A and B are shown apart, each in its own frame.
Chain A
Amino acid sequence: MKRFYLIGFLLLMGFDTLAQISFKYAGTQALPVAASLEWVLRVFSQPWVYGAVIGYVGAFFTWMALLKHAPIGPAFAASHLEVVSVMLLSIWLFDEQLNTARVLGAIAIIAGIVCLGMAESREHVPEAEPAPAEA
């Protein structure tokens, strides 16, 4: 069962990461930004935007499947920790640099997400316990 969760969380992160990478490629190829139909058509005329759609839809169904079985706290945290994978990949794919502000900001954000995940876990703890008095 542990392995099921782990694969689920990794899949969720994978889909979310795919979506963000695709968003970036789609946006870059549709530049310049304009509040116009031409811009929207440019966005939808190249394949990356569909990678974003696949990422979103995949993440949605993975999330729904996970929530049926997995504890909500770790699931919540996993669903937002794609910031880490996206940051690391953007160094490699887009030649971005991690400056001090981004690294410090990321550490604070991740710590915050972990706190929020722990808060969710605490509130939903009783559900996980089977009622021993029955039968």
Chain B
Amino acid sequence: MMSVAGSISPLVAGLWLLNIVLDTGGQLAFKAAAGDEGAGDGLARWKHMASRPWLWLGVASYVIEFLVWIAFLSLIPLSEGVLLGSINIVAIMVAGRFLFGEKLTRLRVAGILLVTLGVVIVGVGG
């Protein structure tokens, strides 16, 4: 639409960052909700999850993210938007590494670097 190559406005950049925070935060909240020891099984597990904030934090993040993503895509071309959004894959893996001590193997690091490189190319060059 109206976007010229390389013209990412502050609003678009802000929505992009907010989307990363909400997506990663939502996933981590779901992880915390699902990984809770002693939550039981079946219905008891769901009741346990519903009585604690993590599940709801995750749901709230995703609802807001839904709107943020719509706003983001309405301001830039879709082909550019989906590529820039790929950074969420990187964010969640890095967060998993720091918060849950998940392993970053050499292949994973290569994947993370390639995705990041791709996002930078698109961000700089439109």
Contact = CB atoms under 8 A, between A and B. Distances in A.
Contact of B83 (A26, A43, A102, A111): A102
A125 interface: no
A106 interface: yes
Interface in B40-97: 66-67, 69-75, 77-83, 86, 89, 93
B78 A109 contact: no
Nearest to B86: A109
Interface in A85-124: 86-87, 90-91, 94, 96, 98-102, 104-116, 118-119, 122-123
Interface in B16-48: none
B83 A83 contact: yes
B114 A24 contact: no
B79 A101 contact: no
A10 interface: no
Interface residues of A, number: 47
Interface of A: 20-21, 23-24, 26-28, 30-31, 33, 39-40, 43, 49, 52, 56, 80, 82-83, 86-87, 90-91, 94, 96, 98-102, 104-116, 118-119, 122-123
16 contacts: A20-B73, A24-B74, A27-B72, A86-B78, A86-B82, A87-B78, A99-B5, A101-B122, A102-B126, A108-B121, A109-B83, A112-B110, A112-B115, A113-B115, A115-B108, A116-B108
